[in-house]
Amino acid sequence: AGLHAVAKTAGKLYFGTATDNPELTDTPYVAILDDNMMFGQITAANSMKWDATEPEQGVFTFDQGDVIRNLAQGNGQLLRGHNCVWHEQLPDWVAFGTFTSDELISIVENHCGTLVGHYTGQMYAWDVINEAFNDDGTFQQDIFFNTTGTAYIPAALNAARATDPNAKLYINEFNIEFAGPKATALQNLIKELQSEGVPIDGVGFQSHFIVGEVPTDLVANFQTFVDLDVEFAITELDVRMTLPETDALLAQQKKDYETVINACVAFPECVGVTVWDFTDTFSWVPGAFPGQGAACPWDDNLVRKPAFDGIVTGFQSA
User: Among residues 88, 92, 103, 229, which is the contact residue for ligand G3I, using CB under 6 A?
Assistant: 88
Contact 37, 13 (CB under 8 A): no
User: Among residues 164, 177, 236, 258, which is the contact residue for ligand G3I, using CB under 6 A?
Assistant: 236
Q: What is the dihedral of CA 177, 182, 188, 193, to 10 degrees?
A: -80
- Near ligand G3I in 268-297, by CB under 6 A: 284, 288
Reply yes or no on whether 236 is catalytic. Answer: yes
41 binds ligand G3I (CB under 6 A): no
Helical packing angle, 247-265 and 306-316, nearest 10°: 20
Task: Output the residue with the shortest Cβ distance to ligand G3I.
Answer: 284
Instruction: Say how many residues touch ligand G3I, by CB under 6 A.
Output: 9
Contact 129, 161 (CB under 8 A): no
Q: Tell me whether residue 60 or residue 289 sits nearer to ligand G3I (CB atom).
A: 289
Distance of closest approach, residue 250 Cβ to ligand G3I, in angstroms? 22
Q: Which pairs count as long-range contacts for 60-69, CB under 8 Å and 24+ apart, including other chains?
A: 60/114, 60/115, 60/118, 62/118, 64/21, 65/118, 65/119, 67/21, 67/24, 68/19, 68/21, 68/42, 68/44, 69/119, 69/122
User: Among residues 9, 70, 89, 100, which is the contact residue for ligand G3I, using CB under 6 A?
Assistant: 89
Distance of closest approach, residue 88 Cβ to ligand G3I, in angstroms? 5
Q: Which pairs count as long-range contacts for 296-300, CB under 8 Å and 24+ apart, including other chains?
A: 296/238, 297/3, 297/257, 298/32
Q: Tell me whether residue 45 or residue 115 sits nearer to ligand G3I (CB atom).
A: 45
61 binds ligand G3I (CB under 6 A): no
User: Among residues 17, 53, 148, 206, which is the contact residue for ligand G3I, using CB under 6 A?
Assistant: 206
Distance of closest approach, residue 311 Cβ to ligand G3I, in angstroms? 20
Catalytic residue among 131, 173, 177, 258: 131
Positive/negative CA dihedral, 96, 97, 100, 103 = negative
User: Which active-site residues does the annotation give?
Assistant: 131, 236
Query: Which residues contact ligand G3I by CB under 6 A?
Result: 45-46, 88-89, 130, 206, 236, 284, 288
